[in-house]
Amino acid sequence: MKSICLFFQIHQPFRHRRYRFFDIGNDHYYYDDYSNESIIRNIADKSYLPANKLLLELAKKLGDKFKVAFSITGVALEQFELYAPDVIESFQKLAKTGCVEFLAETYSHSLSSLRDINAFTDQVKKHDDQIFRLFGQKPRVFRNTEMIYSDEIGEKVAKLGYSAMLTEGAKHVLGWKSPDFLYVNAINPRLKVLMRNYKLSDDIGFRFSDKNWDKHPLTAEKYVGWLEKVGEKEEVINLFMGYDSFGTRQPKEAGIFDFLKALAEQVVKSDKLKFSTPSEAVDELQPISVVSVPHPISWSDEERDLSAWLGNEMQKEAFEKLYAMKGQMARCTDAVLQKDWNYLQASDHFFYMSTKYFADGNPHKSYSHFDSPYEAFINYMNVLSDFKIRLNAHVPESEVENEIASLHRLLEEKEEKIKKMEADLRRLQKTKKQKTTLRKKK
């Protein structure tokens, strides 16, 4: 029987507010709380909550024959706890069914795997801790930001102790090979590699409600027929997509939830198919060969490369400026700075700067809350400039900055003393006034 690995990504960044040049050094709060809350609440009500409710019903009805996997970023989980705790509760109910596997990720959906092993390791560990705290699972399988993978990144992941990694079944990597098998990393064969069947995944995630698609309408019967007709020797079909495909990208009115319900029920009934979590597929199947990926790939755009995040000079400059601070951050113990550092690493900030408006139906523009990639770049660099000032005050980079930091702390201490003295003066004046009033009355 062919294994069907159904996997969903969930990520929402902490979006920055319009941060002006004159805010630098004066206002250290960078986030658009109203937008973050309204977006989370909207997508929770349209997508995450109804989809989780359906999956819970399927888990109860189909038992251990139904399996699904999630990769939920740490920053998304933080926002659920802040703005939509009912989403956390719904995932916890799913976790208790035993039908769900939670995968490892970078905490803030960052590009750290491309730049700094220490920042990457810190983010992965922070994410693992959060998954265990909320859902009681210790992830065994890793899914990098936007499916970014290379031989070297896979080796790093293997060293962190993971048994397998998910990535894109890119044509230019596989050539004549099929994504519907289990592979191993070219440097460390102990790391298994599951590759996304992008055609079958995108049929649901992107094309389901497209009335101009020659396969529209897509029914569960038709789709299961396609799955069953995949080559006889193929062993695992990896259907990886964003969870917001259900209810947001593909609206409820298009019948996407009914399709998901019928799909699960028909896969369970099929004598040729079965659901498996990524861990189960890795444990049950034997790899057929090495997959060689010398240059990083992703699941974005036609090129399946990194150009959505690092394709122009603005993106590269912002990326380099950010990670130029990694040495200082390694010595930083300030909790607020560490939190901002994690949020600043989110790949979305670089995605908003993309000028690839001609590719894939213009997805880059539709996901950004900025009017242009240039505005996104300026805004991010303003935030980065203020962050650098704060970081230098806590972790001086040079003798000059050390002296400035000392003077800054001295000024803060003097300001505190002045405030205390002013408060004491007001208290004494009030006491004196009360005594004068009492004497006059006598």
Catalytic positions are 146
- The DSSP code sequence of 121-172 is HHHHHHHHHHHHHHH-----EEE-GGG-B-HHHHHHHHHTT-SEEEEE--HH
Q: Do the beta carbons of residue 182 and residue 270 sit within 8 Å?
A: no
SS3 106: coil
Question: Under DSSP, is residue 289 helix (H, G, I), strand (E, B) or coil?
Answer: strand
CA 144 – CA 167 distance, rounded (Å) = 8
Beta bridge partners, 110, equal: 346
Q: CA torsion sign, 238 to 244 to 248 to 254?
A: positive
Q: How far does CA 5 lie from the centroid of its chain? A: 20
The residues, any chain, with a CB within 8 Å of residue 324's CB and separated by 6 or more, are: none
At 192, which helix (H) or strand (E)? strand 192-196
Contact 84, 40 (CB under 8 A): yes
Contact partners, residue 28, CB within 8 Å, separation at least 6:
386, 390
Give yes or no for a contact between 137 and 102, defined as CB atoms under 8 angstroms apart: yes
Taking each helix axis as running N to C, give the angle between helix 335-344 and helix 373-394, from 0 to 180 degrees, rounded to the nearest 10.
Answer: 160
Q: Which residues pair with 182 in a beta bridge?
A: 194
126 by Cβ neighbours in 10 Å (0-12 / 13-18 / 19+) ranks as: middle
Q: Tell whether omega for the bond before 217 is within 30 degrees of 0, i.e. cis.
A: yes
- 140, 163 in Cβ contact below 8 A? yes
Strands in 217-272 per DSSP E: 236-242
Q: How far apart are CA 91 and CA 130, in angstroms?
A: 13
Q: Which amino acid is at 301?
A: D
Q: Whose CA is closest to 6, among 219, 246, 233, 189?
A: 246
